[in-house]
Amino acid sequence: MKASGLSFCLLLCLIFALIGILHYFVGYEAGSFVFYLLPIYLASKYGSLSFGIVSGVISILTWGALDAFLVPVFDLELLLWRMAARFLVFLLFSFGIWIIRRREEKERDLIDFIIHDLRDPLSAIDGYLKLIRTKVDGKIAPKEVDLVDRCQIACSRMKTLVNSILDLSRLESSIMPVRTDRVDIPVLVNAVIKEVSVFAERDKVNLEELCESGASCISTDRELLFRMLVNLLSNAIKVSAHGDTVTLHVSETTPGYVNFDVKDHGPGISPLDQKKLFVKFSQLDLWGKEIHKGSGMGLAFVRSAAKALGGGVTVESFPGEGTIFKLKLPTYSLGIRGR
């Protein structure tokens, strides 16, 4: 913590030095205000209110010293009044940025609290539905079984959405704990296929898994990897037509890395839309029709989670030719954070 605070102070000193140089060469009032507001904004936004006030004081002293140096004959009283007025502007600016930051933090904490409290009841509902599905198989009408399956699908998607929103926020804030375990890839893939099989059966989509012999084990966060693959496969199922096949291919083409490729035969994605794929809340219009509109959170979560595990995710797609999402993770991931 001390090291990060010292680094922040050194960065501000460097910024002020650069601002002093710019002020010296530019020298006009409006431009100088813009220069000095930058470090105050950074200090208030990413530091604290006290950092912002200190930055304001340093700005005033730097600006006053340059005024005294650049103007051969100056009025001391006028200079002091100018410094006081500028400091008041800087103080109000810093306080405003700090207020906005605090409001954003409170809103984020409230959302995280609500979403966190939704996890337990959703998990309970999902568990009860699975229990009902196994107990009543063959004892009730097929139509009623279909209703139970639909409820289970809706509950699973809601649970996935809740987890994605909460964990995406944690990943972006670098507070998401990452645990590295030895993961048996074939076992994990079977669990993932079982998880999404309900979606595939409903949409009449075939699932295919291909695990090459060289990719049998990986050291990573099992839960994060499981959810990333579920997200990718669920998206592939959504855009697939009846009778299509979605393939999960696991291989180790690059030494030290395992590739998880999810391929579908859907409408494909244009190069322009591919730029929006991993942006939060973005929803694509595929061939003029939104197919199974989602929340736009799944792929953003996959990208952040892959980065946290030291890997990445890319996409290969052309309109009318289907899509391949390529998740690449190191075989021995140390993770960005530890639990």
pLDDT at 337: 43
pLDDT tens digit sequence for 236-283: 998 888 899 999 999 988 888 999 999 999 888 888 888 888 877 666
Residue 174: what are its φ and ψ, rounded to 5°? Answer: 60, 35
- On whether the pTM is more than 0.85, the answer is no
Burial 222-240 (b: 16+ CB within 10 A, else e): bebbbbbbbbbbbbbbbbb
- Residue holding tokens 């599905």? 133
pLDDT value of position 284 = 63
Both tokens of 212, joined, read 């090459």
Residue range 125-149, pLDDT digits in tens: 877 777 777 776 667 777 777 777 7
pLDDT of amino acid 290: 46
Is the Cβ–Cβ distance between 237 and 196 less than 8 Å?
yes
Per-residue pLDDT at 329 = 93
Q: What three-state secondary structure class fits 210?
A: strand
Report the pLDDT value the prediction gives residue 137, as an integer from 0 to 100.
61
32: three-class secondary structure by DSSP: helix
> For residue 21, what are the CA distances in angstroms to 24, 34, 63, 66, 140?
5, 14, 11, 10, 80
Q: Which residue ranges of the chain lie beneath pLDDT 50?
A: 1-3, 287-291, 336-339
Order of strands, edge to edge, in the sheet holding 312-317?
A: 206-211, 245-251, 257-264, 323-330, 312-317
Closest CA to 217 of 117, 333, 311: 333
Bridge-based pairing state of the strands 217-220 and 206-211:
unpaired
Q: Give the pLDDT score at 103.
A: 83
